[in-house]
Chain A
């Protein structure tokens, strides 16, 4: 498959463990945040989003946490599976502007 990045931060976890992937954003006026998953050879795929009036949002096996004080966003994946291996990156929207994308983190799940 395609390599989407050769110099990405990496996270390696054991199957069944929980994963936490972090993202720092620069613009304090950002009001909308998205996490994307990009598998090798594929385009980015939406996972979950959160608006700035919330601190936490849960989906299926995933939770996004937003800390506006320190401009930090995290994605928690419960009971990580081999199929979760991918590059994960955040996107944020400064109010009234277009989405800005972070660089990403390579998650590797070891069986």
Chain B
């Protein structure tokens, strides 16, 4: 089944404890992206990648890191999480390398930082 998977789906952590949220797609898509979704703010892009080894900042990149060593994986790294990073996170992929066409979303990761 063609899909975007994320792990974990739920995570509760403490301030400053490094964490990684994994994202993987099996559709051979060029473009991958991370979003956070907060009440009243909609989806905001954190980072995106147009191809392997190519990553760029989105609208809210502060406090996050990403890597794209393989085409199918795009992990989101929080080196020192803070409570304002408590949010619902979505990974998405798109066949078009610019990310300007339909994006396929993962199921989401609910992160709580205390």
Contacts and interface: CB of A to CB of B under 8 A. Distances in A.
Contact of A43 (B41, B99, B101, B106): B106
Interface stretch (A13-21, A61-69, A71-79, A91-99): A91-99
Interface residues of A, number: 28
| B-side interface size class | 20 to 34
B37 interface: yes
Among B43, B48, B108, find the residue whose CB has the most chain A CB atoms closer than 10 A.
B43
Contacts, number: 61
Interface in B1-54: 4, 35, 37, 39-43, 45, 48
B74 interface: no
Interface of A: 2-8, 32, 34, 36, 41-46, 49, 89, 91, 93, 96-99, 101-104
Given A43-B90, A98-B48, 7 more contacts: A4-B88, A41-B108, A43-B4, A43-B108, A98-B45, A98-B100, A102-B42
Interface of B: 4, 35, 37, 39-43, 45, 48, 88, 90, 92, 98-108, 110
